[in-house]
Amino acid sequence: MILELDCGNSFIKWRVIDNAQLVALAGGVVGSDEELITALQATAGLALRQCRLVSVRSDDETRALTGRLQEVFGVSCACASPALEMAGVRNGYSEYQRLGLDRWLAVLGAYHIARKPCLVLDLGTAVTSDLVTADGEHLGGFICPGMPLMRNQLRTHTRRIRYDDEAAEKALLDMAPGRSTVEAVERGCLLMLRGFVQAQIELAAEHLGEEFEVFLTGGDALLVRDVLPRARVLPDLVFAGLAIACPLH
Ligand SMILES: Nc1ncnc2c1ncn2[C@@H]1O[C@H](COP(=O)(O)OP(=O)(O)OP(=O)(O)O)[C@@H](O)[C@H]1O
Ligand SMILES: CC(C)(CO)[C@@H](O)C(=O)NCCC(=O)O
Ligand SMILES: [K+]
């Protein structure tokens, strides 16, 4: 079995796949290294042979996690690393090492699946957009705060914006003008997010022509799905790219 990890800024997404790399056997989302160890220990019949991961955390944090996995499960981890060119895609950053590895892998995964121009949107702690042309040229992209960052900035920098997560979830069931603080803030932030992704569609048409695929991933992907009816929602897009960047034998 192979353990795959996507270590984001707030959460670690994990899954275990079979040695033939065909089926996902288990998976989840956890908030810390120790929570990951606990979740894996609770997975029945676990027999890890290898691990591959992508991390946008600091090298120290990533090393601490790979050290723990070696210690507890005896597996060594292959880590995705930056590349100027891979699997027919050319990194568009002027300093290619600076492009977030989660973005790079999502782009590799999307281009591998579509083989045509792609717009790749990832909605997590941060929201990212990346554009790739028909011949695999990554044009670069955009980064803006995601829902968790937007709402927390408002909560942190105002005196009277306070509400809990349960109220937040309920507020998004409707998009009418808010009649409470929680409705006003949650719906306002969601409108910003929807505006951002709609602007990306216009930009993509400008830079890629009308014929492009839209890929949508990340924990908050479903929040914008109804304004992007043509998007392919692929929660495992980063893992698709990870398999390309870190092939295991
Ligand atoms: N099962 C889940 N567990 C945790 N967060 C979830 C889940 N489903 C949806 N979310 C939402 O997804 C968002 C986090 O997205 P995601 O997990 O893709 O990114 P992240 O790891 O926090 O950050 P990054 O963008 O750096 O990868 C949060 O707003 C959270 O509310
Ligand atoms: C933008 C995030 C935080 C999204 O997870 C990550 O891709 C990252 O840390 N990127 C480095 C900066 C950049 O991509 O330009
Ligand atoms: K991510």
Position 154 scores a pLDDT of 96
User: What value does the mean pLDDT take over residues 218-222?
Assistant: 97
Which residue is closest in CA terms to ligand 1's atom 8? 219
**C-alpha 149 to ligand 3 mean position (Å):** 14
Strands (DSSP E) contained in the chain are 2-7, 12-17, 24-30, 50-55, 77-79, 85-86, 89-90, 118-123, 126-132, 138-145, 213-217, 232-233
Is 8 marked within a binding site? Answer: yes
Is 17 marked within a binding site? Answer: no
In which band, very low, low, confident or very high, does the pLDDT at 151 lie, cut at 50, 70 and 90? very high
Task: Report which bound ligand comes closest to the CA of 104.
Answer: 2
Q: Which atom of ligand 1 is nearest to the CA of 12?
A: 21
C-alpha angle 169-172-175 in degrees, rounded to nearest 5: 165
> Which residues lie with the beta carbon below 6 Å from any ligand 2 atom?
8-9, 56, 98-100, 102-103, 124, 126, 128, 143
**C-alpha 11 to ligand 1 mean position (Å):** 6
Q: Of the candidates 117, 121, 125, which has an alpha carbon nearest to the alpha carbon of residue 217?
A: 121
Q: Report, as residue numbers or ranges, the catalytic residues.
A: 102
Position 249 scores a pLDDT of 80
**In the predicted structure, residue 67 carries a pLDDT above the cut 90:** yes
Position 7 scores a pLDDT of 98
Which pLDDT tens digit goes with each residue over 75-118?
Answer: 999 999 999 999 999 999 999 999 999 999 999 999 999 999 99
For 89, phi then psi, to 5°, come to -115, 135
Which residue is closest in CA terms to ligand 2's atom 4? 126
Q: What is the pTM of this model?
A: 0.96
User: 20-24, 37-41, 59-63 — which is least confidently predicted?
Assistant: 20-24
What dihedral angle (degrees, nearest 10) is formed by the CA atoms of 160, 166, 171, 172?
Answer: 130
Position 78 scores a pLDDT of 98
User: 36-40, 50-54, 163-167 — which is least confidently predicted?
Assistant: 163-167
> Which residues lie with the beta carbon below 6 Å from any ligand 1 atom?
8-11, 29, 56, 102, 124-126, 147-148, 218-220
Position 1 scores a pLDDT of 97
Beta-bridge partner residues of 118 = 132, 213
This complex has an ipTM of 0.91
Is 116 marked within a binding site? Answer: no
For 237, phi then psi, to 5°, come to -60, -40
Position 109 scores a pLDDT of 98
Alpha carbon 14 to chain centroid, angstroms: 12
User: What value does the mean pLDDT take over residues 127-154?
Assistant: 98
User: What value does the mean pLDDT take over residues 209-226?
Assistant: 97
Which of 128, 129, 142 to probe ligand 2 with, by most ligand atoms within 8 A of CB? 128
Position 21 scores a pLDDT of 86
- Residue 87 gets the label, from left (phi > 0), alpha (psi -120 to 50) or beta, of left
Which pLDDT tens digit goes with each residue over 222-249?
Answer: 999 999 999 999 999 999 999 999 999 8
**In the predicted structure, residue 191 carries a pLDDT above the cut 90:** yes
User: What value does the mean pLDDT take over residues 12-32?
Assistant: 96
